[in-house]
Amino acid sequence: MDWHLLGLSFVTVFLSELGDKSQLAAIALSGRCQSPKAVFFGTAGALLLTSLLGALAGGAVAELLPTRILKVIAAVGFAVLATRLLFFNKEETE
């Protein structure tokens, strides 16, 4: 097992998930129910499943495309999203 990659994956996902909509939904659910453990296991299971699907999809795509092209596609995608958020967000102008 590649322990460096395991640690890097953990830290990246942990930091990116802090304060996102999933965490806010878990807070709201656990505040309304009598079983915070059930909310924990449900949200943890959902995160595990989405991470598994992402890893499997990433592995499959990596078999088809070179890493450099995948990095270019990801960079362009993030640049498009950033440009859209910065310049074409109509909610702020209303």
Residue range 29-60, pLDDT digits in tens: 888 888 889 999 998 999 899 999 989 998 89
Q: Cα–Cα distance between 6 and 27 in angstroms, integer?
A: 27
Continuous H helices in 18-93: 21-32, 36-64, 67-87, 90-93
**Which residue do the tokens 């590649």 mark?**
2
- Helix (H/G/I), strand (E/B), else coil: 83: helix
Would you say 36 and 26 are in contact if contact means Cβ atoms under 8 Å apart? no
In the chain, the percentage of residues whose pLDDT exceeds 90 is 36
Residue 68 banded pLDDT, cuts 50, 70, 90: very high
Q: Cα–Cα distance between 84 and 30 in angstroms, integer?
A: 34
> Average model confidence (pLDDT) for the chain?
87
